[in-house]
Amino acid sequence: MSRGVGPCVLGLETSCDETSAAVLSPDMEVLGHVILSQDVHEVYGGVVPELAARAHLQKVDAVVDEALSQAGLGLADVDVLGVTAGPGLIGPLLVGVCWVKAAAYGLGKPWVPVHHMEAHLFAPSLEDPSAEPPFVALLVSGGHTLLLHAAAWGEYRLLGQTRDDAAGEAFDKVAKLLGLPYPGGPVIERLAATGDPARHALPRPMLARSQRPGDSDYYDFSFSGLKTAVVQLVRNLEAEGRMDDERAHVAAGFQAAAVDVLAAKTLRAVEETGCRRVLLGGGVSANGVLRAEVADRVGSDGSVFHSSVRLALDNGAMVARAARFRFDRGDVAAAWASASASLPFPGLARGAA
């Protein structure tokens, strides 16, 4: 590969229900990018791991081929292969990792295991090069809710995380309760736009004015109580035969409560760290109400970074970008490396602001 300085990277993402591959040029341009969403899970109202793994296996060759063809390159032109090695569903993860290991071995090229949530951190920088540390990051996906401070790429401090459901999981579960399809986030956002968020008051779990920095719940999240409150509300409305009329209002009330907690805790991190640069990442960061609320609270003397909706959801481009960062630091995989459903976040230290 002769263009630019540095390697050409192929990134592969198969940790959940998107099969995605991207080719990243040496100067960080996305040359080819394919994201294939599996619709089989809609039938079950959630991701079925075994079906996800099978679907990845069926599609991975075609997805990589198409990304390479968009880039006008062959596999042999790739210098480094990056793949999500965790966290995620082990079957789906293994499909991507085994594919990349085999290709790397066959080509005699290095491969880089990527942490899925670190990849989400890199997504906004693909579209806006100024989306780089230092920043406070709110990472909200179907499996994780993390609030951290990034002093530099690879240097992260965990401030808070969810104690039960992830933010995206809460959107998905509430959507199911409301009789809406999977994934719930985008459907709830659309429906909520037609509802009144104040009509049904819902709790803001783990958010109290009395909390102080240093309290264990100051930055942590909890969404299971909010979900239980929605269960109760839905039961009452159904018993009264009012569910159809109230569905949009319940969706709006739930979204307002979830966004309020996420934005409030992010702002606490901004105030405590003194860092007015905020990055939103992960699938839930596609939510326009969350983006607007955080931007509003950060104000005009700060910056809020997020990617386009396409790159906020799971994708291979963010994996390629994170792999490039790790490769530049020399973090290539050992021969025995594999996938891990609970891969630790690299460079993440624990501690309050």
Site residues for ligand KG4 per CB under 6 A: 16, 141-143, 168, 171-172, 183-186, 189, 282-284, 286-287, 313-314
C-alpha to C-alpha distance for 120 and 13, rounded to whole angstroms: 11
Residues 6+ apart with CB under 8 A from 303: 130, 276, 277, 278
Q: How far is the CB of 286 from ligand KG4 (least distance, A)?
A: 4
Q: How far is the CB of 175 from ligand KG4 (least distance, A)?
A: 7
* Sole binder of Zn ion in the list 167, 195, 314, 339 (CB under 5 A): 314
> Could you give the C-alpha distances from 202 to 197, 199, 231, 327, in angstroms and in order?
9, 9, 11, 46
C-alpha to C-alpha distance for 171 and 168, rounded to whole angstroms: 5
By beta-carbon proximity to ligand KG4, the closer residue of 189 and 220 is: 189
By beta-carbon proximity to Zn ion, the closer residue of 141 and 145 is: 141
* Sole binder of Zn ion in the list 125, 141, 162, 287 (CB under 5 A): 141
Q: How far is the CB of 347 from Zn ion (least distance, A)?
A: 18
Buried/exposed 120-156: b ≥16 CB within 10 Å, e otherwise: bbbbbbbeeeebbbebbbbbbbbbbbbbbbbeebbeb
Q: How far is the CB of 41 from Zn ion (least distance, A)?
A: 15
By beta-carbon proximity to ligand KG4, the closer residue of 9 and 166 is: 166
For residue 220, state whether it binds Zn ion (rule: CB under 5 A): no
By beta-carbon proximity to Zn ion, the closer residue of 141 and 266 is: 141
C-alpha to C-alpha distance for 3 and 240, rounded to whole angstroms: 66
Q: How far is the CB of 102 from ligand KG4 (least distance, A)?
A: 25
Got the DSSP string for 163-175?
SSS-HHHHHHHHH
Pairing of strands 135-140, 277-281: parallel
Among ligand KG4, Zn ion, none, residue 168 binds (CB under 5-8 Å by kind): ligand KG4
Closest among 182, 155, 164, 183 to 261, alpha carbons compared: 164
By beta-carbon proximity to Zn ion, the closer residue of 293 and 314 is: 314
User: By rule CB under 5 A, what count of residues binds Zn ion?
Assistant: 2
Among Zn ion, ligand KG4, none, residue 13 binds (CB under 5-8 Å by kind): none
Q: How far is the CB of 120 from Zn ion (least distance, A)?
A: 6
For residue 232 the two structure tokens come to 């109760």
Q: How many residues does the chain have?
A: 353
Applying CB under 5 A, which residues contact Zn ion? 141, 314
